[in-house]
Every structure is written in C-alpha cells, then in structure tokens.
Amino acid sequence: MKYTNIWKGYFRTRPVQPAVRQNLKNNYDFLPASNPEKTDILYFAGCMTHLTPAIKNAMTSILDASGVRWSFIDENGGVCCGRPLMLAGQDKEARELINYNSQLIWKSGAHTLVTSCPICYKVFRESYYLDVEVLHHSQFIKRCIDDHSLKLNFMHKNVTYHTPCELGRNSGVYEEPKAVLRHVANLEPTGYDDEKSLCCGGSLGNIMLDQTDRRKIASDVTKVLTKSHPDYLATACPLCKKTLAPVTETRVADIAEIVAGAIVRPQLKKKFFRESSEVKESAGVA
C-alpha cells in the first residue's frame, strides 16, 4: 500500500485564521528554556509511551545497546507532539507547541528523530518543518539489526502481530515491524495482516464509542489474533497495547519490549578458579 499524507501537512496547506484573542502571551512560556545537549539521535517517547513506561524503558535499553550517541528529548515529560490540539481545532496553541519542539530538535544537532508512538511519528513527518530523518522505533531497530550494531538472541517464542492503524494504513509502515519480530521470534500470520489489520478500538479521536463498545472491539480483536495461542501478541503502538492488554490472557507487548528482552548482554570475565585456589591455600585446605 502506497503511503499518502491524509493530513496534507495540516499547517503546510491549511489556511489558518485564528480568532482574535485578548491574551497574546505564548501558551508555553512556563516551559524551561530549550538547551539540549548535542547528539546524533533524539528519542521522543510521547504522551502515550510515558503512560506505558515498559516501552520507554525498553527503548532506553535498545538505544544504549546500539552504541549510538543519543538523547531523550522528553525524558521528564516535556510536551506532546501537538495532535490533540490539532483535533480540537486549537491551531494557535498547536503551532506554538510545534515551534517549541522544533527548537529543541534543531538545537540538538541531531540527524534522526526516533519515536515510539505512531501518532507522533505521523505528526512529526507531516506537520513539522524538520531537517531530520523521522523514524518509528521499529524502523530504527530494523536498521540497527541490518548494520549489526544491535546483537539479539532468537527467543524461540511464537508471536502474532497487530498492525496499528496509524503506523500501517495511515503511514505505510508494514515490513520493518514484521522483519524485526522474525529476527527474534517465530512470527505467525493471523489472516488480518497489513492492510487487513483490525483496529484495536482505542482511537483517541473517536468520540462516537463509549468505553463498553471500545472494550468489546478490543476483546473481539484479541480473540482473532490469539487463536493460535501465541506466547506474545505484539504491537507497535502504546495506545494499542493499553487497549488490548486488559482484555486477553495472552501477554501483549510492544516490539521494543520483545527486542529488549532478546539483547545479547556482554559476559563479564571472572578469575574465579584462581581466586578460589588462593583462598584454599591460605586456609590450609588441600
């Protein structure tokens, strides 16, 4: 499926005519001055990833293990990508937030921005004027595997994959997540792969469904995707994970969590035998 920009850049082509306001103060003046350290790779977790800390912890382990020079742009929370403000029609506030984030990214000198949230990934690509490469973390992990900067064990686990709507249909990213999973586990087809993927039911932009209906959708989706009784139901979106995990007994994990569990850890060399014999001699033991 060919990627199409359904937002059409949002601010890039949309005529913005904000309402006249008495208070012209920047809404984000309360934020600290942006003085990020120089780096090559910036990691932006995003709001939903901060609400699923296992994902950001996994990405921290992966970035450290990859050996790249990286920095955590929103480690202490920071601000979001701007999508909720766009959906609410708060154009002025969204533009101010985008400008704030853009300054952080520009001042860091980074050439690549990695994010764990498909919504953030889409917004950074389409609504920001960034002279950096934007990658979803599944794409970054795939690149690390290809250039042998990340060594991983094969886990001998069976995994099915749920393609998030924002990452798949709305951004055209299908192959990298599956390639990463095949590198560390047995990836099983579900019959609802790629363009046929099922929505988890948790879209933040959907105001037509109540919590009961969303939970029913999520339950139906997990029943279909776990028919083969896999060890993991993998996804690549923090919102999808939060939506699917409560309605199934199968462990739901983000790709980053599975990969972090497969990282080859360096072995520490020990002089155990020599030290053991020296202890015995000093104690007079034969």
Burial (CB count <10 Å: 0-12, 13-18, 19+), residue 64: exposed
Q: Is residue 4 part of a domain?
A: no
Q: Is residue 269 part of a domain?
A: no
Residue 26 pLDDT level (bands cut at 50, 70, 90): low
Give me 211's structure tokens.
């919590």
Kindly report which listed range (149-163, 177-191, 194-208) carries the lowest average pLDDT score: 194-208
Q: Is residue 30 part of a domain?
A: no
pLDDT at 35 over 70: yes
Q: Is residue 244 part of a domain?
A: yes
**In this structure, what DSSP letter does residue 5 have?**
-
Number of domains present in the structure of the chain:
1
**In this structure, what DSSP letter does residue 118 have?**
H
| Buried-exposed string 237-258: b where 16+ CB fall within 10 A, e elsewhere | bbbbbbbbbebbebbbbbbbbb
pTM: 0.83
Question: Which tens digit of pLDDT belongs to each residue from 206-240?
Answer: 667 788 888 999 999 999 999 999 999 999 999 99
pLDDT of residue 37: 84
Question: Which tens digit of pLDDT belongs to each residue from 151-182?
Answer: 999 999 999 999 999 999 999 999 999 999 99
Give me 207's structure tokens.
């105001």
Domain interval for residue 205: 41-260
Kindly report which listed range (16-20, 72-76, 86-90) carries the lowest average pLDDT score: 16-20
Q: Give the bridge partners for 233, in sequence order.
A: 160, 252
pLDDT of residue 228: 95
Q: Is residue 275 part of a domain?
A: no
Q: Is residue 73 part of a domain?
A: yes
Give me 147's structure tokens.
């250039």
The CA–CA distances, whole Å, from 249 to 219, 223, 243, 259 equal: 11, 10, 13, 21
Kindly report which listed range (44-48, 88-92, 176-180, 239-243) carries the lowest average pLDDT score: 88-92
Q: Is residue 17 part of a domain?
A: no
Residue-by-residue DSSP string for 131-168: SSEEEEHHHHHHHHHHTT-S-B-----EEEE---TTTT
Q: Is residue 36 part of a domain?
A: no
Q: How many angstroms separate the CA atoms of 258 and 93, rounded?
A: 37
